[in-house]
Structure 1
Amino acid sequence: MIEQRSDYAFSRFLKFWRRVHQLSQEELAGRLESSPRHISRLETGTCRASEAIVLQIGEVLALGKRDLNHLLISAGYAPLVERIDFNSPELRWLRKAMILTLRALDPYPATLVDSDSQILMVNKGFVNLFTQVVPASLLAQITNNYDFVFGRSSTDSMVKDWEDTISAIIMAGQQAALFSNNPEDQAQIDSLVERSGVPPDWAQRAAKMEPRSSFRVQIDLRGEVQNFFNVSTIVGSLGPAAFVSDPRLTINILYPEDDNLDLSFPADADIRHPLLFY
């Protein structure tokens, strides 16, 4: 049984920001062209805030993107997320940080993926491993993580429990698309659902599973099947903003199940890929 809570997160956020700006309920009501009684009801939780007044509060208090999104989420509304170009000049520092992070993960294969499942960067460990599996010319053309991991039929997939795993991934994307209400996000999910091997009951399957940050992958290396754990790490800001900040980045890392599997490569190895930046 789900515990019923009488408190309302928005009420706590509203009180917090009103006190940060040292405003009385009457002063805030005046700025909002509302009544002190309405502000009082919002703060006691006896009245639910409309999205319009949440946005108005954010405007009159000059809240930044992070704090406005927290306020929206606390009131039960979807955050406002602006798409940010990972390759823009102002994110040079982030690109450098991601290069250093991927390099530090060598020799374990790792990729940096955005919220559209586009692969932005890879490390040498990734190229070294998968050139043993995929022709280098083909590997160089792969830019989408869905295409890379789930591009084959379920019977020829690298992923164990393929149908359950892809169902869970589609469900995560579907719920994100419901939040964003962005036609492009929904179109991506619709395209994924139509892929070969996706079970028709993917939604029912996913509903029975809790979210997973990792899954098992099988890779045939030199005629021997090796098991890996695919672990995903979210790159984001602190607090709830990590789930609404953009660019929403994920680092996917493959760790071998066999501790004795040697993934190392010579320091001077000639390893190349269009998305390898060191």
Structure 2
Amino acid sequence: MRVDASINNDSPFSGLLRFWRSVHQVSQEELAYRTGSSARHLSRLENSHVSPSLEMVEAIAVALDMLERDSNHLLIAAGFRAQEKKADFRSADLKWLRKAMALTLRALDPHPTVLIDGSGDILMVNESWVAFYSRLIGEHHLACVTNHFDLLFSLHDATSGSKAYTDALCLILMSIQQDVLLTQDNAMQQRLTQLCATPGVPDDWARRAAQLDPMASFRVELQIDGSPERFFSVSQTVGAMGPTAYVSEPRLTINTLYPESAAKHAGADAQGYRHPLLPE
């Protein structure tokens, strides 16, 4: 089977439409029949002479039996918002993924590591994460924390207002703001409003974040037992592959803290701590 994956100057949507039609070996005439359109209109779409409507993109995705990830590629290429369905990390279908994440977090000990979803809700932690943050806010209080972003912003006082930490918070706000604009998620809009009201967060956080490289990893400084210590906060995305992995459920991120000093272990002496989200 020959698949049309050629690169040309046409629009991204046109190239994707030709590609998926060739993958499924569907002619323009057959696809026109399935979508209630015409072969002439499909030809104009594939040659970038016209732009598709949202209804047409959705009809093509259904007609070609495309999965959510690939349907979202088509939607975004046509200029529309991706349509993601929330995945339940606790569902029976994702038991294998929970096992894989538990093994990953254990392997990252003695470095504090947390697994979060696209809303920043905490799904799983390792023992070093519990030990590290228990030193900062107390084990009992930590057991009540459910959102990673809330935790990071609550620690702003513990950073003595360091520029590096404030910059990190500005970048988080920028990421959430753009996510809200792309997804129109009301719950995330409420969280954004709440986080922006955190004491010490600058009013010009958006302008400040716009001047920073939006990297998934950055340096932070925290007061540990009264002394400033620096860490590298490293985030890794877990989920679907491809250009729209950021909207493919489940949207998971693993965040790990590495001490800047190689001689130190942030989560040392992690034995004996308890937390409801420690893997069994």
Quote how far apart the aligned CAs of 1:159 are. Answer: 6.0
Question: Which of 195, 200, 204 lines up with 2:198 in the alignment?
Answer: 195
TM-aligned CA distance change 1:76 to 1:146, over 3 Å: same
Quote how far apart the aligned CAs of 1:131 are. Answer: 2.8
Q: Is the 8 A contact 1:233 1:252 kept in 2?
A: yes
**Structure 2: which amino acid aligns with 1:272?**
R
The 10-residue stretch of structure 1 (52-61 or 17-26) with the greater mean CA deviation from structure 2: 17-26
**Structure 1: which amino acid aligns with 2:151?**
F
- Indicate the residue corresponding to 2:117 in structure 1: 114
Quote how far apart the aligned CAs of 1:44 are. Answer: 0.9
Separation in structure 2 between the aligned mates of residue 165 and residue 222 of structure 1, nearest angstrom: 22
Quote how far apart the aligned CAs of 1:156 are. Answer: 4.4
TM-score when normalising by structure 2: 0.89
**Structure 1: which amino acid aligns with 2:32?**
A
Quote how far apart the aligned CAs of 1:70 are. Answer: 1.4
- Indicate the residue corresponding to 2:88 in structure 1: 85
**Structure 1: which amino acid aligns with 2:93?**
E
3-state SS in 2 of match to 1:87 = coil
Instruction: State how 1:61-76 maps to structure 2 within 5 Å.
Output: 61-76=64-79
3-state SS in 1 of match to 2:137 = coil
The 10-residue stretch of structure 1 (80-89 or 217-226) with the greater mean CA deviation from structure 2: 217-226
Q: Is the 8 A contact 2:239 2:248 kept in 1?
A: yes
Computed over aligned residues only, the root mean square deviation of the Cα atoms, in angstroms, reads 2.2
- Indicate the residue corresponding to 1:271 in structure 2: 273
- Indicate the residue corresponding to 2:247 in structure 1: 244
3-state SS in 2 of match to 1:225 = strand
State, as a whole percentage, how many aligned pairs show the same letter: 45
Quote how far apart the aligned CAs of 1:24 are. Answer: 2.1
Q: Which string of whole-angstrom CA distances, capped at 9 and with x for unpartnered residues, describes residues 115-138 of structure 1?
A: 111111110111222333332211
- Indicate the residue corresponding to 1:254 in structure 2: 257
Q: Is the 8 A contact 1:235 1:248 kept in 2?
A: yes
Separation in structure 2 between the aligned mates of residue 262 and residue 33 of structure 1, nearest angstrom: 62
Q: Is the 8 A contact 2:129 2:267 kept in 1?
A: no
**Structure 1: which amino acid aligns with 2:146?**
T
**Structure 2: which amino acid aligns with 1:77?**
F
TM-aligned CA distance change 1:137 to 1:158, over 3 Å: farther
- Indicate the residue corresponding to 1:138 in structure 2: 141
Count matched residues. 273
Q: Is the 8 A contact 1:149 1:158 kept in 2?
A: no
- Indicate the residue corresponding to 1:99 in structure 2: 102
TM-score when normalising by structure 1: 0.90
Separation in structure 2 between the aligned mates of residue 222 and residue 183 of structure 1, nearest angstrom: 38
**Structure 1: which amino acid aligns with 2:150?**
D
* Structure 1 residue 29 corresponds to structure 2 residue 41: no
Question: Which of 171, 177, 180 lines up with 1:168 in the alignment?
Answer: 171
Separation in structure 1 between the aligned mates of residue 157 and residue 134 of structure 2, nearest angstrom: 22
Q: Is the 8 A contact 2:132 2:267 kept in 1?
A: no
Q: Is the 8 A contact 1:167 1:206 kept in 2?
A: yes
Q: Is the 8 A contact 1:160 1:215 kept in 2?
A: no
Quote how far apart the aligned CAs of 1:152 are. Answer: 4.3
Quote how far apart the aligned CAs of 1:192 are. Answer: 1.9
Q: Which string of whole-angstrom CA distances, capped at 9 and with x for unpartnered residues, describes residues 244-266 of structure 1?
A: 21121111100010111145756
**Structure 2: which amino acid aligns with 1:184?**
A
Separation in structure 2 between the aligned mates of residue 121 and residue 157 of structure 1, nearest angstrom: 28
Q: Is the 8 A contact 2:257 2:266 kept in 1?
A: no
Separation in structure 1 between the aligned mates of residue 158 and residue 273 of structure 2, nearest angstrom: 31
Separation in structure 2 between the aligned mates of residue 84 and residue 58 of structure 1, nearest angstrom: 20
- Indicate the residue corresponding to 1:184 in structure 2: 187
Q: Is the 8 A contact 1:18 1:24 kept in 2?
A: yes
3-state SS in 1 of match to 2:213 = coil
Separation in structure 1 between the aligned mates of residue 177 and residue 266 of structure 2, nearest angstrom: 35
Q: Is the 8 A contact 1:160 1:216 kept in 2?
A: no
Quote how far apart the aligned CAs of 1:50 are. Answer: 1.3
Q: Is the 8 A contact 2:232 2:257 kept in 1?
A: yes
